[in-house]
């Protein structure tokens, strides 16, 4: 990717669980501020990949480095957005979004500033005192996005966060996500099963193989946002990715 | 309310099976308002709408599991009643009974309707539907030993086993991942073309709706009303990325209200 | 997704680790009792000797340990079976018809919170002989079984009920084919807990029973004589039998309910 700094280097990454090889010699770079999607057939170890990149699970072989150092939660700023609804039930939206900043001991007035800004960006300002039980599923995912971005992370990892939403809400929130990403210029890794979503969102798609998981190919999506799913160019790329994944074979 | 092209299925006017004209309230909350439509024989009707708009309530009303607060849901003039009518339901939640083998689970509907589980006829039918959904060899398995997609296939087999007059499916693939979902959609089509039944299918996935339906009804947000109706005449199997498909899909997506 | 560490199967296996833990415990006990040199803290081998004596010669009245064990176990089972016979059907009934429970709560709940021990004076006055024991134990076992059954019936998965309903099944069919099998594992757990509490009550029951056979009675006899090692034999035997019964329950549960989904982390 022309002109972009490399943010994270993955070299010869392998992950074994006893005899089971899940990830096998993965070799690639992640660029500063890019929106990268990771797709692959069901059960191809995408979640293991996430866990390993962020250091939740130890690597068996190879290395993942950010700025030359191994990724470390305490030093580096990594945010997760999970698949399951993860709003904390006893916290208001405002409190929920600020939780990452609280943990990192950011000063109070800075917290207020940043949380206000992100809520504004995600259209949640008027709901800041609501509880998760009072808001819709789409809004909950917006809260989760806000929470992920507010800490200005070095890396934001999203694992199928929109799986539970209906079609229209999904498009709406995908557009919101792109809006926030374009504004904040964070590096995002987005894992999904939904190939159309991958083509809709990302600049670059990494297609993984079945276990032992490696990178099959990378696909560049150079279309401007917001994208049109009926656009023949979009369709072409989508079909290409679908052929590459070919899960039913 | 828009109406798409009215087309007659199969070249002749299909009989109307179910007549719906009702509203539904829970206490003071109006969930469904002035819902009026008919379900025709052998059609694959898909009902779409935003999440939480009462689609499941509508499904339960169509299946006779609940009664409307006002109006009626009738088959040939009689209120839909599972004890009288041959209706099958595929639920959104995994509905395999944990302590039954797949065989026993699939035979439940037949058993309730009075079939003798030991008779050759019943056994043949069960074998038939197991083959139909592609679960041969798994008859003695328990639900905990099989995947989510397979569990839904069991539910579908169970629903087909009784040769129902009317089949209801409430977001059956909602809890499956996108790829398994694609596979199941193709399966459903294959099964439907083999044993043509009248199907009412609920989903919030518009792509799925356009792929499967002969007719689509679009519901609005709460309180849900019928917003639009479309007849889908695309040839099968449908191409998810074909221009006509995408056009229809975009049209319906625009009609579906976003629950912000 | 496999876990990195395989829980519970190190080099020795669960059985091996348990044997090790037991040995360490006995060792510590021996050390403490040897250091303290108190008359009131016997060493493990003194206790073992008393155990053997009680088996062969019996207690101060000549009653054999085996007989004590037999009597206590008999009483427990009587009370437990009675608790099941009453508790399970009542639990199912009140689970199916919540209004019945809600309208009788004011009677049931206060009784539930009276500890079996508090019934002792009343029991002495109103009942005689075997029934005294059985009643106290019944009281201990009944409520876990009853409440466990009731709550289980209430929390049957509604989808499992919808399936036969959608085919037009009658209520009786649903109760027989869905509610009962669904609640069986929880009923079993209630039974296991009930048995445990019933066993806890054995001391209380045998204090007021009046007969001179039974593990609790044996402990009391030696309490008067301050023969600590014999008391400890009684305690250990009670604990061991309780443990054994619990393990049997768990073993049966695992076999019978092999359809239960394990919690899978994936």
| Calpha distance B123→C215 (Å, rounded) | 58
CATH (residue range B2-85+165-255): 3.40.50.300
CATH number corresponding to A1-76+188-244: 3.40.50.300
C171 domain-assigned = yes
Q: Is C1 on the interface with A (CB under 8 A)?
A: yes
C251/chain B closest Cα distance in angstroms: 18
Interface of A with B (CB under 8 A): 41-42, 123, 136-139, 160, 163, 165-169, 171-172, 192-196, 229-230, 232, 235, 238-239, 245, 247-248
Pairing mode, strands B78-79 and A6-17: unpaired
Q: Does A243 touch chain C (CB under 8 A)?
A: no
Compute the nearest-CA separation of B113 from chain C (Å): 7
Closest CA to B96 of B47, B56, B148, B58: B148
Q: Say yes or no: C12 and C143 in one domain.
A: no
Q: Do residue B113 and residue C159 have CB atoms under 8 angstroms apart?
A: no
The mean pLDDT of B19-23, rounded to a whole number, is 87
Length of chain C: 266
Portion of chain C with pLDDT greater than 90, in percent: 23
Shortest CA gap A185–chain B (Å)? 25
Say if residues B31 and B69 touch (Cβ distance below 8 Å): no
The answer to the question of residue C50 being in a domain is yes
Give pLDDT, residue A216. 83
In a domain, C261, yes or no: no
Q: Is residue C54 part of a domain?
A: yes
From the list B241, B249, B253, the residue facing A238 with the nearest CB is: B241
What share of chain A has pLDDT > 90, as a percent? 13
Q: What is the CATH number of the domain that holds C130?
A: 1.10.3720.10
Q: Is the pLDDT of residue B2 over 50?
A: no
Written as six digits, the tokens of A208 are 């993984």
Counting the structural domains of chain C, the total is 2
Q: List phi, psi (to 5°) of A47.
A: -70, -40
| pLDDT of A35 | 93
Reply yes or no on whether the pLDDT at A118 is more than 60: yes
Report residue B123's pLDDT band, with 50, 70 and 90 as the boundaries: very high
pLDDT above 50: residue C2: no
Q: What's the gap in Å between the CA of C157 and the closest CA on chain A? A: 21
Contacts of C223 (CB under 8 A, 6+ apart): C231
pTM of the full structure = 0.77
Same domain, C125 and C109: yes
DSSP B203-249: ES-HHHHHHH-SEEEEE-SSSB-EEEEEE----SS--TTSHHHHHHH
Which one has a higher pLDDT value, C38 or C140?
Answer: C140
Are residues C2 and A47, on separate chains, in Cβ contact within 8 Å?
no
Give, for B35, the enclosing helix (H) or strand (E).
strand B29-40
Shared domain check, C84 and C31 = no
pLDDT over 70 at C9, yes or no: no
Residue A249 confidence (pLDDT) above 90 = no
- pLDDT of C6 reads 42
Q: Shortest Cα distance from C183 to chain B (angstroms)? A: 11
Are C18 and C133 members of one domain? no
- pLDDT range class, residue C87, cuts 50, 70, 90: very high
| Interchain CB contacts (distance < 8 Å): B and C | 63
How high is the mean pLDDT of chain B?
86
Report pLDDT for A15.
86
Residues shown for chain A: 249
Residues A131-140 have pLDDT tens digits of 888 888 788 8
Q: Name the residue ranges covered by the structural domains of chain A.
A: 1-76+188-244
Residue-averaged pLDDT of chain A: 85
Calpha distance B95→B97 (Å, rounded): 6
CATH 3.40.50.300 boundaries in chain B: 2-85+165-255
**How near does any CA of chain A get to the CA of C82, in Å?**
44
In this model, does residue C57 exceed pLDDT 60?
A: yes
pLDDT tens digits for C162-213?
Answer: 889 888 888 899 999 899 988 999 999 999 999 988 888 887 778 776 788 8
What chain C residue is nearest to B99 in terms of C-alpha separation?
C259
Residue B10, Cβ neighbours under 10 Å: how many? 11
Give yes or no for a contact between B14 and B42, defined as CB atoms under 8 angstroms apart: yes
- With CA atoms as reference, report the closest residue to B57 among B39, B35, B74, B79: B35
Instruction: Find chain B residues with C-beta within 8 A of A93's C-beta.
Output: none
Q: Which of B179, B241, B253 sits opposite A239 (nearest CB)?
A: B241
C-alpha pair distances (Å), B121 with each of A160, B158, C91, C164? 46, 16, 40, 21
Pair C192, C148: CB distance under 8 Å: no
Q: Are residues C125 and C218 in the same domain?
A: yes
* One domain, residues C142 and C75: yes
* CA pair distance A134, A127, nearest whole angstrom: 10
Give the range among A198-202, B238-242, C62-66 with minimum mean pLDDT: C62-66
Residue C233 lies in a domain: yes
B162 vs C contacts (CB less than 8 Å)? 167
Name the pLDDT band for B102 (thresholds 50, 70, 90).
Answer: very high
Domain interval for residue C29:
1-40
Here the tokens at position C67 are: 């007989």
| C177 and C248 part of one domain | yes
3-state secondary structure chain A: CCCCCEEEEEEEEEEEECCEEEEEEEEEEEECCCEEEEECCCCCCHHHHHHHHCCCCCCCEEEEEECCEECCCCCCCEEEECCCCCCCCCCCHHHHHHHHHHHCCCCHHHHHHHHHHHHHHCCCHHHCCCCHHHCCHHHHHHHHHHHHHHCCCCEEEEECCCCCCCHHHHHHHHHHHHHHHHHHCCCEEEECCCHHHHHHHCCEEEEECCCCECEEEEEECCCCCCCCCCCHHHHHHHHHHHHHHCCCC
Q: What is the pLDDT of residues B43-71, one digit of tens each?
A: 999 999 887 778 888 999 998 898 899 99
State mean pLDDT over B227-232: 91
Per-residue pLDDT tens digits for A88-106: 888 889 988 888 888 888 8
pLDDT digits (tens, 9 = 90+) for A203-222: 999 988 877 788 888 888 88
pLDDT of residue A110 exceeding 60, the answer is yes
- Are B46 and B189 in contact by the 8 Å Cβ rule? The answer is no
DSSP, collapsed to helix, strand or coil, labels residue B76 as coil
Largest CA distance in chain C: 76
Question: What is the SS3 assignment for B254?
Answer: helix
Mean pLDDT over A143-147 rounds to 88
With beta carbons less than 8 A apart as the criterion, state whether B114 and B193 touch: no
With H, G, I as helix, E, B as strand and everything else as coil, classify residue B1. coil
B146 and chain C in contact, CB less than 8 A: no
Same domain, C18 and C136: no
Report the range of poorest mean pLDDT among A160-169, B4-13, B126-135, C245-254: B4-13
Task: Provide the pLDDT for residue B4.
Answer: 39
Quickly state the pLDDT bin for C263 (edges 50, 70, 90): very low
| Cis before A212 (ω within 30) | yes
β-partners of residue A11 are A63
Q: What average pLDDT does range C245-253 have in this prediction?
A: 90
Question: Bridge-partner residues for A23, per DSSP?
Answer: A15, A213
Contact at CB, B143 and C259, closer than 8 angstroms: yes
Q: Quote the pLDDT of residue C10.
A: 61
Tokens representing B161 are 């086993």
| Model pLDDT, residue C84 | 94
Residue A248: the pLDDT is: 47
Identify the band that residue A7 occupies on the pLDDT scale cut at 50, 70 and 90.
confident
Q: Are residues C22 and C127 in the same domain?
A: no
- C205 forms beta bridges with none
Average pLDDT over residues B115-122: 89
Residue C85 has pLDDT above 50, yes or no: yes
Which C residues, 3 through 32, put their C-beta within 8 Å of a C-beta on chain A? 3-4
CB A204 within 8 A of CB A219: yes
> Is B113's CB within 8 Å of C166's CB?
no
Is the pLDDT confidence value at A168 over 90? no
Query: Residue A168: which of B179, B183, B257 has the nearest Cβ?
Result: B257
Neighbouring C-beta atoms of residue C242, cutoff 10 Å: 17
């Amino acid at each position: 990717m022309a002109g972009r700094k490399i943010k994270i280097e993955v070299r010869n990454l392998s992950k074994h669980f006893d005899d089971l090889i899940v990830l096998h010699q993965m070799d690639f770079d992640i660029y500063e501020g890019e929106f990268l999607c990771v797709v692959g057939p069901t059960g191809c170890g995408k979640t293991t990949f996430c866990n390993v990149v962020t250091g939740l699970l130890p690597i068996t072989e190879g290395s993942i480095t950010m700025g030359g150092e191994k990724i470390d939660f305490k030093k580096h700023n990594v945010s997760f957005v999970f698949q399951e609804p993860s709003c904390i039930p006893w916290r208001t939206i405002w409190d929920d979004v600020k939780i990452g900043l609280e943990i990192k001991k950011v000063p109070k007035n800075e917290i207020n500033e940043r949380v206000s800004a992100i809520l504004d960006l995600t259209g949640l300002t008027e709901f800041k005192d609501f509880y998760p039980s009072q808001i819709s599923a789409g809004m909950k995912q917006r809260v989760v996005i806000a929470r992920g971005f507010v800490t200005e992370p070095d890396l934001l990892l999203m694992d199928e966060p929109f799986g539970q939403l209906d079609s229209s809400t999904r498009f709406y929130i995908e557009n919101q996500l792109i809006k926030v990403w374009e504004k904040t210029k964070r590096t995002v890794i987005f894992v999904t099963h939904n190939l159309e979503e991958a083509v809709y969102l990302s600049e670059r798609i990494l297609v993984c193989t079945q276990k032992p998981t490696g990178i099959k190919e990378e696909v560049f999506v150079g279309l401007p946002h917001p994208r049109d799913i009926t656009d023949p160019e979009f369709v072409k790329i989508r079909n290409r990715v679908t052929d590459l994944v070919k899960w039913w074979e | 309310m828009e109406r798409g092209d009215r087309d007659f299925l199969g070249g002749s006017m299909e009989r109307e099976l179910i007549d719906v004209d009702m509203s539904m309230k829970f206490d003071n909350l109006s969930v469904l308002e002035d819902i009026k439509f008919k379900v025709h024989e052998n059609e694959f009707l898909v009902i779409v709408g935003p999440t939480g708009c009462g689609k499941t309530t509508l499904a339960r009303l169509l299946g006779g599991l609940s009664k409307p607060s006002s109006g009626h849901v009738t088959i040939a003039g009689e209120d839909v009643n599972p004890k009288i009518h041959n209706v099958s339901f595929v639920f959104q939640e995994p509905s395999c009974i944990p302590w039954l083998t797949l065989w026993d689970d699939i035979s439940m509907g037949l058993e309730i309707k009075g079939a003798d589980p030991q008779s050759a006829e019943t056994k043949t039918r069960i074998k038939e539907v197991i083959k139909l959904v592609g679960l041969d060899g798994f008859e003695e398995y328990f639900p905990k030993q099989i995947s989510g997609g397979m569990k839904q296939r069991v539910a579908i087999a169970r629903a087909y086993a009784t040769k129902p007059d009317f089949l209801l499916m409430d977001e059956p693939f909602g809890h499956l991942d996108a790829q398994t979902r694609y596979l199941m959609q193709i399966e459903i089509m294959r099964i439907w073309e083999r044993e043509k039944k009248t199907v009412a299918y609920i989903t919030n996935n518009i792509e799925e709706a356009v792929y499967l339906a002969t007719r689509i009804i679009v519901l609005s947000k709460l309180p849900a009303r019928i917003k639009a109706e479309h007849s889908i005449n695309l040839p099968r199997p449908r191409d998810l990325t074909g221009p006509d498909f995408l056009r229809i899909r975009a049209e319906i997506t625009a009609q579906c209200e976003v629950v912000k | 997704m496999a876990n990195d560490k395989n829980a519970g199967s190190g080099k020795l296996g669960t059985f091996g680790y348990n044997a090790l833990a037991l040995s360490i415990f006995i060792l510590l006990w021996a050390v403490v009792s040897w250091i303290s040199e108190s008359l009131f803290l016997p060493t493990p081998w003194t206790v073992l000797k008393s155990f053997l004596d009680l088996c062969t010669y019996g207690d101060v009245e000549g009653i054999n340990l085996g007989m004590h064990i037999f009597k206590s176990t008999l009483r427990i089972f009587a009370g437990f079976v009675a608790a099941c016979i009453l508790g399970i059907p009542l639990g199912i009934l009140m689970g199916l018809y919540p209004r019945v429970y809600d309208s009788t709560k004011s009677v049931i709940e206060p009784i539930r919170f009276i500890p079996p021990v508090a019934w002792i004076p009343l029991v002495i006055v109103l009942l005689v002989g075997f029934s005294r024991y059985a009643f106290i134990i019944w009281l201990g076992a009944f409520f876990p079984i009853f409440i466990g059954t009731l709550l289980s019936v209430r929390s049957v998965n509604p989808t499992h009920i919808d399936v036969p309903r959608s085919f037009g099944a009658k209520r009786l069919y649903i109760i027989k084919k869905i509610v009962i099998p669904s609640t069986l594992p929880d009923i079993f757990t209630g039974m296991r807990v009930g048995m445990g509490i019933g066993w806890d009550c054995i001391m209380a029951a045998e204090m007021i029973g009046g007969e001179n056979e039974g593990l609790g009675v044996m402990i009391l006899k030696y309490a008067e004589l301050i023969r600590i090692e014999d008391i400890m034999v009684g305690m250990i035997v009670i604990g061991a039998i309780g443990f054994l019964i619990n393990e049997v329950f768990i073993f049966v549960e695992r076999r019978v309910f092999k359809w239960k989904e394990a919690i899978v982390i994936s």
